[in-house]
């Protein structure tokens, strides 16, 4: 089968719409609802529904839980419920006793972290409701195979998240109304996209600002969102593009300033999210 090379700017609109919807079933928005004050709603960031062994939960950036004041408190002695914003504007509120925060890493810097957290969801009717409408990605995969199939230069990348700039929250008495937008941004892995620092691997996704681009001025709220690598196919009969095999390859956590109409959104890459981040977790389960 021959290979075809396409520029991102040449991707047809109909395929862009397909790509926008492809990974939303795995994507979640995160927000805090305080038990002390029901009107205290705090948007936290984004995440991906994942499975590690028998554990199901949200893979996100650790700073999404710790950057707010006071930091998020979940678990049996916690005071905060988490609102998960799912596909098709569905929302599920999880009480603190349904949640276990697993600190996977110890951050060393804002720019490079490492910045990952796993919020496990305990089995319950609420988890069953989530699984009825959303999809869960298994991280029990060989990172070497993922890297071989989906980590090469030229691979197409789709990064997902819920930037706060595109969302609205309205309070009405003791209730709130939240309008969220799952944004999908397409990129390509370039020669300089992948770096390794202190053993952790990173991907820097380029965002080019032009008059025609619909990129947000700030990616605040995008942190924790999933980064996907997707193989693109073209139909011999119709010539239309479609998505082929795909894999979760990272999680966003940092944005650079805009310089010369370009910024980068940095995320942890394949070895970090499939292997390195879980070594302490696996030891704690023994």
Domain ranges of the chain: 8-284
How many angstroms separate the CA atoms of 99 and 271, rounded?
26
pTM reported for the whole predicted model:
0.91
Q: What is the pLDDT of residues 75-106, one digit of tens each?
A: 888 888 898 989 877 889 999 999 999 989 98
Q: Which of 185, 180, 156 is nearest to 255 (CA)?
A: 185
Q: What is the pLDDT of residues 261-272, one digit of tens each?
A: 999 999 999 999
Confirm if 278 and 120 have CB atoms less than 8 A apart.
no
Q: For residue 281, what pLDDT is reported?
A: 76
**Region at 269 (left for phi over 0; alpha for psi -120 to 50; beta for the rest):** beta
The residue that leads in pLDDT, 199 or 165, is 199
Q: Is the pLDDT of residue 243 over 90?
A: no
Query: Which residues does 215 contact at the CB level (< 8 Å), separation at least 6?
Result: 185, 207, 209
Q: Which of 122, 174, 157 is nearest to 251 (CA)?
A: 157
pLDDT band at 285 (very low <50, low <70, confident <90, very high): low
Q: What is the pLDDT of residues 27-65, one digit of tens each?
A: 999 988 876 666 677 889 999 999 999 999 999 999 999
């Amino acid at each position: 089968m021959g290979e075809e090379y396409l520029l991102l700017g040449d991707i047809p609109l109909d395929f862009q719409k397909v790509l926008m919807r492809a990974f939303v079933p795995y994507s979640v928005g995160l927000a805090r609802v305080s038990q002390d004050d029901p009107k205290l709603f705090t948007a936290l960031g984004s995440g991906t529904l994942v499975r590690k062994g028998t554990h199901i939960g949200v893979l996100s950036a650790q700073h999404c839980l710790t950057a707010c004041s006071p930091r998020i408190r979940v678990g049996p002695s916690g005071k905060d419920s988490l609102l998960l914003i799912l596909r098709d504007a569905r929302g599920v509120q999880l009480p603190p006793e349904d949640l276990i925060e697993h600190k996977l890493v110890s951050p060393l810097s804002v720019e490079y972290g490492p910045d990952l957290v796993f919020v496990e969801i305990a089995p319950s009717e609420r988890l069953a409701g989530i699984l009825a409408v959303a999809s869960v990605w298994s991280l029990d995969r060989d990172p070497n195979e993922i890297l071989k199939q989906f980590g090469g230069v030229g691979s197409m990348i789709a990064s997902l998240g819920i930037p706060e700039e595109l969302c609205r929250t309205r309070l009405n008495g003791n209730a709130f109304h939240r309008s969220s937008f799952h944004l999908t941004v397409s990129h390509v892995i370039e020669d300089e996209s992948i770096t390794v620092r202190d053993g952790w691997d990173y991907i820097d996704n380029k965002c080019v600002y032009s008059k025609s681009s619909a990129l947000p001025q700030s990616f605040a709220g995008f942190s924790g969102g999933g980064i996907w690598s997707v193989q693109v196919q073209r139909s011999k009969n119709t010539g239309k593009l479609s998505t082929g095999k795909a894999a979760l390859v990272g999680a966003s956590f940092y944005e650079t300033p805009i310089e010369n109409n370009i910024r980068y959104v940095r995320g942890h890459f394949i070895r970090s999210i499939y292997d390195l981040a879980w070594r302490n977790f696996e030891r704690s389960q023994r």
